[in-house]
A and B are shown apart, each in its own frame.
Chain A
Amino acid sequence: GQQLNQSPQSMFIQEGEDVSMNCTSSSIFNTWLWYKQDPGEGPVLLIALYKAGELTSNGRLTAQFGITRKDSFLNISASIPSDVGIYFCAGQNYGGSQGNLIFGKGTKLSVKP
């Protein structure tokens, strides 16, 4: 079945630094989604990507849908303490009868003030 490799598993950075994380897949997706999850809460959608090559920003966050449709990255610029949390990538095939998400294992981000 489809699997996602998300890296890095964890990051410890200084406030103000930029962050980059990525996901790769063994097969193609036509939708990539990035979520952030805080402890004890559900994942919150950050960015959705629907076209290969698409580059989308949401404030300090930028994500790209790889041209091969097998990868995506998420960048966070000028990190702040509230960026702390676990970031998940998810791949999905648009439409279809179910629309199941395939999740990466997450990147845990820690930000030192």
Chain B
Amino acid sequence: GAVVSQHPSWVICKSGTSVKIECRSLDFQATTMFWYRQFPKQSLMLMATSNEGSKATYEQGVEKDKFLINHASLTLSTLTVTSAHPEDSSFYICSARDFKTSGGTDTQYFGPGTRLTVL
């Protein structure tokens, strides 16, 4: 299957600093990538949809100035958590959309996640 990587896999930072997380589709091009947040023992919560070459679409309640998304190429999207605070500590997961019009398939492949801890 298709491979999506995420970097870093974990990060610990001080309150007030910014943290950048990268999401890459390694063997396919993804015009659309998604960023999720997952709390312990819960399902994935969609934060935003990242479209290559255009502005991200944020879900209701997600601050766009707090969670900056850049999708500069067909294989890379970045999420920057600005001025991080302890309540931003969470597991952040990206996915990349593999949309094949010829095959009639539309599948999302997930990265391994990034554990963010803000002290």
Whether chains A and B associate is yes
Which A positions have Cβ atoms within 8 angstroms of B? 31, 33, 35, 40-45, 48, 50, 88, 90, 92, 94-95, 98-101, 103-106
Other than the given A100-B49, A103-B43, A105-B43, 19 more pairs (CB < 8 A) read A31-B106, A33-B107, A35-B110, A40-B91, A42-B6, A42-B93, A42-B111, A42-B112, A45-B110, A50-B104, A88-B43, A92-B106, A94-B104, A99-B32, A99-B97, A99-B99, A99-B108, A103-B44, A105-B42
Q: Which residues of B contact A (CB under 8 A)?
A: 1, 4, 6, 32, 34, 42-44, 46, 49, 57, 91, 93, 95, 97, 99, 101, 104-113, 115
Q: Which of A33, A99, A104 has the most CB of B within 10 A?
A: A99
Chain A interface helix/strand/loop/mixed: loop
Number of A-B contacts (CB under 8 A): 62
A41–B34 CA distance with the chains assembled, in angstroms: 16
Q: In the assembly, what is the distance between CA of A13 and CA of B6, in Å?
A: 33
Q: How far is the CA of A104 from the CA of B57 in the complex (A)?
A: 22
